[in-house]
Chains A and B, each alone.
Chain A
């Protein structure tokens, strides 16, 4: 077993190594061949290879010294307009020395940029096209402003097909000398839903237990690793244990820094998946919507969300009563 992050260790280095997203990879290879890259948007769910593709492209283009020609910026760490103005501009305007006349700026999580920052970015992109090409990675291209979208070649990344996913994980397991059972593999796919980074992290954490990886191990890892276990939160509330549910919520917000808006979005999704009478789903959606609105106006996320939890407790109580009648 090796002692680094496997997700990093097994990240493909070149476009040839990338097994998935075949069509995208072919197009990227043609960019390398012609030594010309347009501005790009890589859009798709997490763990589907957006950053990897950008890095592979750069390595194929510049060789081993690719790091000198690229810059990686994470919009969620530095999303302000000043960063775009200063850092991006400074990097973009200086011409690269070498065969390829431009540098590449990889903007990760670009959908987290404020729209002001995006406006500033748009002008920078236009002005320094000669010296710098941008690759914007985002979960939703819809959150990128229209003028930027129209200047970029769009690439849509999708989840790995099940066979690719399995092949990849089996390869890692074998290489690391880990016993991965079929049911463990099924469980990983189920909890990670094709997000390869999460899948590999789950595999590594499971491997650290030092026993064959079955579904039970995977579920326990997934449960412990997911601070925003909204499903469990709803379950606790529906069982009528408000005080415990509020404690779970508090841990999510305070200990793990999960945003209230993320939690309520997940609650909304989860409600339609929960096994409750259909009429109740829409009733609950109304309550969630109201609290979502108050969340914007209110001062305290935990207070608002726990008011929602109290309504869930109440709803579950009424449902039980209705069944008896």
Chain B
């Protein structure tokens, strides 16, 4: 069973967290201040780009200070009522019998749209009267939606860790996994990650898992798939998206043709949605997206493309109900695209052979290529003499013999008999 290294080697203590020492110190000072009574700002707002350890820091904090962490995700506070339901939690801290707790509201960016407007206000209300520390996390704290909320929070910015900080983290993981890695190989990964520790660890896992050694050659090809890294993030946002809005937003990030993005999703959904119900729902969403592609084609009304996007992103994201996020599943380039050009040539060849059969056998080239050709293939594989006889009788070209024989050796033997 594979498990994601980004999860397995998650820092357990604040000391292990990569970089952001200053921000972490601010956070520690603030949490300590609670021991002397409720501070002026009852909430902190951690913000910064994805994958640099915001959530991890809070988890490590709760470990270090032995404070219970109550984690809420965007899906838990989509509506005002949902938020009020956990408001009670916020009303006490360190009571005589209760343990201390921190409330963490993660992925605040997920709160969007009019339906969630009440949500931000409800959170603000809770903070105003909170009796325990509340930590908010978002990529962008300066989003206008949070303007009022910001007034009640201590803002702490998380910055991208430096290359050498990421590098030392990768070294630690290699040590634990028993991998001997060349310094410049790890440096390459660290450089590429641009401070996103999580993606650096994912890259390391993709390249090094199951190996004893990791060389520079092993990693240098990564440079060619920079675009691929973007698409992996996009796919993650769609397949593991928690809100329709965030899944839909992935399309803007992808910076690629909608049809191509569709192929990526279509290729990767089955490996990631292991529950049969989820998979059927997701495939149904893709089927509907495809129906709209068909309608665009027949009506030439391109405004319908918004429904294609709805189903292929939000539709797929909402399909995930029972599948648990477990293990680490890689993303693949759409196999269908690779196959398409190959099979186009193949089908042309089949039809050519079909035409040859037609000249002899009173059957359409079309049907011959489907109904007779498969038998020829078997014969060409098994009986060189009969194959040569048929090749002559049907007047097949050397290329056709090659194609039917499937192996060079067989083809050579057949052609030798043909003279």
Query: CB within 8 Å of B: which residues of A?
Result: 1-5, 7-8, 11, 51-52, 55, 72, 74-77, 108-109, 197-198, 201-202, 204-205, 207-210, 221, 224-227, 240, 242-243, 246, 250, 254-258, 291, 294, 297-300, 302-304, 306-307, 309-311, 313-314, 316-318
Contact = CB atoms under 8 A, between A and B. Distances in A.
Contacts of A307: 280, 283-284, 286-287
Given A204-B379, A299-B294, A255 B343 contact: yes
A208 B388 CA distance: 12
Q: Give the one of A72, A210, A242, A317 with max B CB within 10 A.
A: A242
B291 A317 contact: no
Contact of A4 (B295, B365, B375, B389): B389
A210 B270 contact: no
B364 interface: yes
Contacts of B364: 74-77, 108-109
Contacts of A250: 335-336, 339
A246 B374 CA distance: 21
B276 A302 contact: no
B389 A303 contact: no
A291 B287 contact: yes
Contacts of A317: 276-277
30 contacts: A3-B385, A3-B392, A3-B393, A7-B361, A11-B362, A55-B362, A74-B358, A74-B363, A108-B363, A197-B371, A198-B371, A201-B372, A201-B375, A204-B386, A205-B379, A225-B375, A226-B374, A240-B276, A242-B270, A254-B339, A299-B291, A299-B293, A304-B287, A307-B284, A307-B286, A310-B279, A311-B280, A313-B279, A314-B276, A316-B276
Nearest to A224: B378
B76 interface: no
B270 A224 contact: no
B340 interface: yes
Using C-beta atoms within 8 Å of the partner chain, give the interface range for chain B: 35 or more
A206 to B, nearest CB: 8
B366 interface: yes
Interface of B: 266, 270-271, 276-277, 279-280, 282-284, 286-288, 290-291, 293-298, 335-336, 339-340, 343, 346-347, 350, 357-358, 360-367, 369-372, 374-375, 377-379, 382-383, 385-390, 392-394
Q: Give the one of A55, A240, A243, A304 with max B CB within 10 A.
A: A304
A256 B346 CA distance: 9
Nearest to B385: A3
Contact of A2 (B276, B366, B389): B389
A5 B365 contact: no
A210 B302 CA distance: 59
Nearest to A7: B361
Contacts of A74: 358, 363-366
A198 to B, nearest CB: 7
Q: Give the one of B277, B357, B363 with max A CB within 10 A.
A: B363
B211 to A, nearest CB: 25
Contacts of B377: 224-225
Contact of B362 (A72, A226, A255): A72
Given A297-B295, A299-B294, 20 more contacts: A3-B386, A4-B393, A5-B394, A8-B360, A11-B362, A72-B362, A74-B366, A77-B364, A109-B364, A109-B367, A208-B378, A208-B387, A242-B270, A250-B339, A257-B347, A294-B288, A298-B294, A307-B280, A307-B287, A310-B280
Contacts of A198: 371
B366 A77 contact: yes
B389 to A, nearest CB: 2
A66 B374 CA distance: 31
B280 A298 contact: no
Contact of B293 (A204, A258, A298, A302): A298
B279 A51 contact: no
Contacts of A77: 358, 364-366
A109 to B, nearest CB: 6
A250 B340 CA distance: 10
B291 to A, nearest CB: 5
A210 B382 contact: yes
Contact of B378 (A221, A294, A318): A221
Given A242-B270, A246-B270, A307-B283, A5 B370 contact: no
B258 to A, nearest CB: 12
A118 B125 CA distance: 76
Q: Give the one of A207, A254, A300 with max B CB within 10 A.
A: A300
Contacts of B375: 201-202, 204-205, 221, 225
Contacts of A5: 357, 360-361, 372, 390, 393-394
A3 B370 contact: no
Contact of A303 (B270, B286, B382): B286
B290 A299 contact: yes
A307 B286 CA distance: 8
A1 B386 contact: yes
Contact of B270 (A197, A243, A294): A243
Contacts of A209: 382-383
A300 B291 CA distance: 8
